[in-house]
Each structure stands twice: as C-alpha cells, then as structure tokens.
Amino acid sequence: MQKILERIKGDKVIWSVVLLLSLISLMAVYSSTGSLAYRMDKNASYYLIKQLSVIAVGLLIIYGVHKVNYTKFARIAVMLYVISLPLLLYTLFFGAKINEGSRWIKLPVVNVTFQSSDLAKLALFLFLARMLSIKQGSIKDLRKGFIPVLVPVFLTCALIAPANLSTALMLGATCCILFFIGRVQVKHIMLLAVAGIIGVVLLFTVSKITGFGRAATWEQRISDFAGGSKKDGSVKGGKKESVYQVLQAKIAIANGGVFGLGPGHSRQRDYLPEAYSDFIFSSIIEEYGLVGATALVFLYLLFLWRSILIFKRCPYAFGAFLAVGLSMTLVFQAMLNMAVNVHLVPVTGLTLPMVSMGGSSIWFTSIAIGIVLSVSRYVDENEGRKKAASEKTEKTATETTEEEETLTTDKNEAPALA
C-alpha cells in the first residue's frame, strides 16, 4: 500500500475528493437503480457492479493521465480540436437520438455510445489553454489576440447547441470566465456575451420555423419552469405547478429534511425519473438530507479551490489555464445539475460529474481530472527541485563560510604557536 501511495503524485486533496465522489456515486447509484433493474429484468446488484467497473476504469485513467507531463497535451490540442468538429457535425445529423436529442455516437462492433460533446469540451479547453498562453502578448488586441481564441469557442458551441443547448451555454459561460482570467478585455467579453444571446435567439427562431432542433422542448421547459403556483396556492391555468420529474424531485428533497432518511431508504426512487442520472442529487438529499447535500457541494468547491491554488503556483501559462479551465467546467456543470434538482433553473440534460451513473462521461471527466493532477505533479516537482537547489546552495555557502572562519582562526593563532 505504501508503494502505491508513493507512486501517486499530484494534489492529495484532489485525489481524496475524487475517491469520496466515487464512493458517493456507488452508494447513490445502487440505492436509486432498484426499479430500473426490475424493469430491465436485471439482478439488483447489476448496476452497482457496472458502475463500480466504470469508476475503476476512470481511476485508472486518472492515474495514467496524471503520469504524463502536461506539456505534451499542448502538442495534441490542435489535432484533438480538429477531430472534435467533424464528430460534432456527424452527431448533429446522424447521431443516436436519446431523449429527443442527437447527442450520441454509437461505435460499431463494440456497441458503445459516447457523447461527442464530452470530447469537444475537453478538446476545446486544451486548445484554448494553448491559444491563450501563446496570445498573452496581444490578447487585448481584438483582431490579433481575441478573435483567434473566440473562433474555436463559437464553432464548438454552434455545433453543440442545436442538440444540447444547456451544454453549449455552460461552455460559453465557462469560456467567458477563462477569458477574464486570461486578461481578455472586459468589453470584448461583454460583446461575446451579447453575441451569444443573439445567437440563442436566432437558433430558437430558426428551429421554431424549420422544425430542426429542439425549440419545442426548450419552450416547454422554460414554460414549465416559469408556470409555478401563485401566492394563494392556486395552480396557474388549472395545470400542475411543474413537470412530473421536478415535482417528484421536490418531494424527495422535502422527505430528506436535515439529516435524511438514511442510505437505501429513499421513498421516491421508484417514482423519480432519472433518479440515478440527471436527478441523482435529489436522491442524495432524500437519503442524506441537507447535511449530505452540503458535504457534496463542499467537495466540488474544494476541488475548485485546490485547482485555483495549482493555477496560482504554476509558472507557465498553459498549465495554469489548463488547471483552472478544466476544473471550472467540471464544477460549473455540477452546480447547474444541483440547481436543476432544487428547481432554481429549468431542466437540462446535464449530469452530476463523477457521481451520476454513466460510462463515457465519467471517463472523459477522469481525463480532465488527470490533466489537472498532471499540472499539480509538475508544480510539486518543480518546487521540490527549486527547494533542493536552494538548500544545496545554502549548504555550500555555509560550508564555505565555516572554512573561511577556520582559515582566519588559523592565521590569527599562527604567531602564538611560533
């Protein structure tokens, strides 16, 4: 065990957070998949074993990626980004449709599906970190600095938005924060935000007119979110105050109270759709209460804080932007998923990173975490080398001083000996 721990490098707090999130995932998925296993005629432990296998592979991915020097990712960033664009285009027109959206690519022979948007997110932040580090000298110039880093964000979000608007909006918002950290002028970021709003309006209009895209779904979700009950308790238009999914999530949260019903004692898991995926946070609140929910939020914020410390300590811009960009998108996604569960924002298709049941999504998240830990490992080793060099210099200086003092003493004592 000691030898294994010695081989694991990088921020130990981030490693601890990842392991705790993995444990929470196993407990929550096992508790919330009972009815799913029954419907699919599976053993009660089937999805637990499946999730355990996925997480085990994810941890191996994190370990393997964190052993790679992060500077090597700069070399493949452009290639990976170029590959992601045609994959997004293919997914948009020919992807497997799940929940009314073309978001998945199905690999033949192995019969495995994955979201091309997950690959695109990773590729985009690798590419942006590389471009921002290169363009630091001219980043405040609109034409020479900002436009070259803006174009890839625009292309990626434009290709993701028709099938997965929530992911596109999340990416755009995260990129704006990364641009601010990367010293882009605020007025340019504001222009980007305005352009994004105009783009969403145009996309909705075109989708509404042509029928291509998910305008009807977006409109329904916003309508369901805004059409709640009135102050007097009546229900607007005689309809339910929210969609069935959100209503069941509210019941689960109310059942949880402060300390929850206890592990495996959820009452709504058989009624709440996607209790093991999009709405797993509601299941966690029901079983572990406000205390458990607060602990989970704390873990994600702790991960972000440690990544920010890595950003501040990293001597090179590429590694710093990598650490903060990848961690922000992961934590931002987690906060949006939690906001959906407690009905603060309309329903989206975003999962809870490293907790929701999944396969490829967990593995792509694992790659991102591995890259953050790779940057952390380099920072630790670099600081270790500097510390060792400094101690060596101090030791040499001390020995030289002692030798000079000895020689001086010998000279002073020489006449007396004579």
Tens digits of per-residue pLDDT, 297-320? 999 999 999 999 999 999 889 999
Q: Any residues with CB less than 8 A from the CB of 97 and at least 6 apart, and which?
A: 104
Look at residue 343 and give its three-state secondary structure: coil
pTM beyond 0.75: yes
Minimum mean pLDDT among 22-31, 227-236, 278-287: which range? 227-236
Percentage of residues in the chain having pLDDT higher than 70? 87
d(CA 183, CA 7): 36
pLDDT at 5: 65
Residue 225: name the closest of 339, 352, 335 by CA. Answer: 339
Q: Which two three-digit tokens encode residue 269?
A: 């898991």
pLDDT at 192: 87
Number of residues written out for the chain: 418
Q: What is the pLDDT of residues 13-56, one digit of tens each?
A: 999 999 999 999 999 999 998 888 888 888 878 999 999 999 99
Q: What is the pLDDT of residues 200-227, one digit of tens each?
A: 889 888 888 887 777 777 888 888 887 6
pLDDT at 405: 63
d(CA 107, CA 104): 10
Residue 157: name the closest of 200, 126, 115 by CA. Answer: 200
Cβ neighbourhood burial of 199 (10 Å; 0-12, 13-18, 19+): middle
Output phi, psi for 57, to 5 deg.
-65, -40
Q: Which two three-digit tokens encode residue 163?
A: 């099938």
Output phi, psi for 115, to 5 deg.
-85, 120
Distances (CA, A) of 128 to 14, 132, 137, 303: 23, 6, 15, 21
Sequence letter at residue 186: V
Query: What are the residue ranges of helices labelled H in 211-316?
Result: 215-226, 244-256, 280-313
Look at residue 102 and give its three-state secondary structure: strand
Cα Rg of the chain, angstroms:
26
pLDDT tops 50 at residue 84: yes
pLDDT at 236: 41
d(CA 114, CA 203): 25
d(CA 373, CA 10): 5
Cβ pair 134, 77 in contact under 8 A: no
Q: Which residues sit opposite 101 in a β-bridge?
A: 98
Distance of CA 276 to the CA centre of its chain: 18
